[in-house]
Amino acid sequence: MMDMLNVVFPVSGVETNVLIPPVVAMVISFFTSMGGVSGAFLILPFQMSVFGYTAPSVSGTNHVYNVVAIPSGVYRYIREGRMAWPITWVVVLGTLPGVFTGYYVRVHYLLDPRPFKLFVGCVLMYIGSKLLKGISTKADPKLSAAKALEAKFKVRAEQIKQQQSSRSQAGLPPDAVIKTVSISLRRIEYEFWSERFSFNPVSMFVLALVVGIIGGAYGIGGGAIIAPFCVAIFHLPVYTIAGAALMGTFITSLVGAIFFTFIPASAGVSATPDWLLGGLFGVGGFVGTYLGARLQKFVPQRHIKLIIGLLIVLLALRYITQFFLKT
């Protein structure tokens, strides 16, 4: 029976059981989508290590995964009023030009899978370290609003536990929605659960441009790298940046998939995405991303950052050590 489910994907040459891609993607995206990350940063290493799919087209296939998987999570964040649109558009405007540059770098300078794995490992290590650093309990005046938000979450959870007859669930209240307060070139400010947060849009744009290049080459769209930066550098809470990061990743991945499909690469280089394989991963990601976005409001952001941070660092260590240990 299991042999009947084995298929060979003609573009990538991958042979696998058709149930493996969607199941793997569903599990990964369930946890990562809570932090505003689509799961593509783990799907790509899975394709490289388990399927042996190391051609440049694997990055384009990862973009396809994002295009299919992300809309369900974006829908949940919009429906619940937790989509920070000012962050979304700044991220999109910055990452879009970076994605094209990232494509060029991938198909011309990162053709050998060994240095590309080192590149992936370094990117993952930086993302993971930023997330784990943000869990530190050291006092920081810039984190006052974020800490106040976390304290409110804990108080609400405790109140709900004490109300044995209540039908409510612990987590964010229904009125915890994002409200834009002011927008200017120097500062964008918004309110969430009676706490105000702000960031410099120019700084966010420059950061988005840089990570767009990395995300374009890696095949994750750039939004996934923006999410931990927003938490660690701009001190914005996970609850407010997850939807924006996913939306930014979706738009830039759509453009990235088009680049990999229609823009010619060097002679003899396979850059066309495996749309069938990417779509199969995307189906599982669609379900996992929806469930993760739906349940995020019931999970403390400290736990979200810890889970994702540890996964990323462990994976990064594996790729970095593989580069130096193998000839």
3-state secondary structure labels for all residues of the chain:
CCHHHEEECCCCCCEEECCHHHHHHHHHHHHHHHHCCCCHHHHHHHHHHCCCCCCCHHHHHHHHHHHHHHHHHHHHHHHCCCCCHHHHHHHHHHHHHHHHHHHHHHHHHCCCHHHHHHHHHHHHHHHHHHHHHCCCCCCCHHHHHHHHHHHHHHHHHHHHHHCCCCCCCCCCCCCCCEEEEEECCCCEEEEECCEEEEECHHHHHHHHHHHHHHHHHHCCCCHHHHHHHHHHCCCCCHHHHHHHHHHHHHHHHHHHHHHHHHCCCCCCCCCCCCHHHHHHHHHHHHHHHHHHHHHHHHCCHHHHHHHHHHHHHHHHHHHHHHHHHCC
Contact between 320 and 121 (Cβ < 8 Å): yes
**Using 50, 70 and 90 to split pLDDT, how confident is the model at 226?**
confident
Contact between 7 and 16 (Cβ < 8 Å): yes
Contact between 192 and 240 (Cβ < 8 Å): yes
pLDDT above 90 coverage of the chain, percent: 18
Query: What is the reported pTM?
Result: 0.78
Cβ contacts of 49 within 8 Å, gap of 6 or more: none
Specify which of 140-154, 175-189, 277-291, 309-323 reaches the highest per-range mean pLDDT.
Answer: 277-291
**Using 50, 70 and 90 to split pLDDT, how confident is the model at 168?**
very low
Mean pLDDT across the chain: 79
The reported pLDDT for the residue numbered 155 is 62
Please give the structure tokens belonging to residue 108.
Answer: 């011309």
- pLDDT over 60 (residue 299): yes
The torsion angles phi and psi of 86, rounded to 5 degrees, stand at: -60, -40
Compute the distance between CA of residue 120 and CA of residue 101 in angstroms, rounded to an integer.
Answer: 17
**Using 50, 70 and 90 to split pLDDT, how confident is the model at 218?**
low
Contact between 229 and 272 (Cβ < 8 Å): no
CA 84 to chain centre: 16
Compute the distance between CA of residue 295 and CA of residue 279 in angstroms, rounded to an integer.
Answer: 24
- pLDDT over 90 (residue 20): yes
Least confident span in 117-131, 163-177, 254-268 = 163-177
The amino acid occupying position 206 is V
The amino acid occupying position 207 is L
C-alpha closest to that of 117 among 65, 49, 215, 62:
49
The reported pLDDT for the residue numbered 265 is 63
Tell me what the mean pLDDT of segment 251-257 comes to: 85
Helix 40-49 / helix 113-133 crossing angle, nearest 10 deg: 140
